[in-house]
Structure 1
């Protein structure tokens, strides 16, 4: 699977990593067979360094840089790799995501809380 389409790359590239927590996540990447979820808001000009939240299901989701190339090269088993959630949409800034993640324990748990918040306004 292509993790970043040209459109997604353009959206990520338009965001400044210095203000990454103020941006809305552009893309969600995930391990289809186990732990590992990433919400990316920015892409450095090098085309590899993404900025966002990494949640490896170890009770410490963090904001920072991670490598697109490394994610593309991961073999998670059964011949599968990291995938992009093609249905992911949010209007909530990354800073709020981090607050909810801290409360509920991870990106996957935070998704339902934030989806409900966005539906109800």
Structure 2
């Protein structure tokens, strides 16, 4: 399975362009709701992603949790996530096809810092 569907990729690129433009003009960013949730099906690792870098669409921004008790806002390279092989290569990082965001990325980040894990 591809980590991003076509609609998700387009929406995340639009979000990335809007934030790049806003940072140029106002220095602040929009607090988008996550577009996609990726996860490690074998254990720790969750990513709630909101946007793609318009200059390098392989770089996504969101809330990243590697399962070490310190989720953080940051960037991740999608090609690196796609290259992860689990269970002898039988599995990889997956997209949660049932995920529907219920709040903004910052709200998820505040909650994740309190609980030391992403709850989504």
TM over 0.5: yes
The TM-score by the shorter chain falls in which range? 0.7 to 0.9
Equivalenced residue count is: 108
Q: 1:21-49, CA deviations, whole angstroms, 9 ceiling, x for partnerless residues?
A: x1100000000001110000011122200
Q: CA–CA distance in 2 between the matches of 1:91 and 1:59?
A: 22
Q: CA–CA distance in 1 between the matches of 2:77 and 2:64?
A: 11
Q: What residue number does 2:42 align with?
A: 33
Q: CA–CA distance in 2 between the matches of 1:47 and 1:102?
A: 27
What is the RMSD computed on CA atoms of the aligned residues? 1.3
Q: CA–CA distance in 2 between the matches of 1:65 and 1:58?
A: 17
TM-score by length of 1: 0.83
1:5, distance to aligned residue in structure 2 (A): 1.1
Q: Larger helix proportion, structure 1 or 2?
A: 1
* Residue segments in structure 2 that go unaligned for 5+ positions in a row: 24-28
1:91, distance to aligned residue in structure 2 (A): 3.2
Is 1:102 the equivalent of 2:113? yes
The 4+ residue runs of structure 1 with deviation greater than 6 A are none
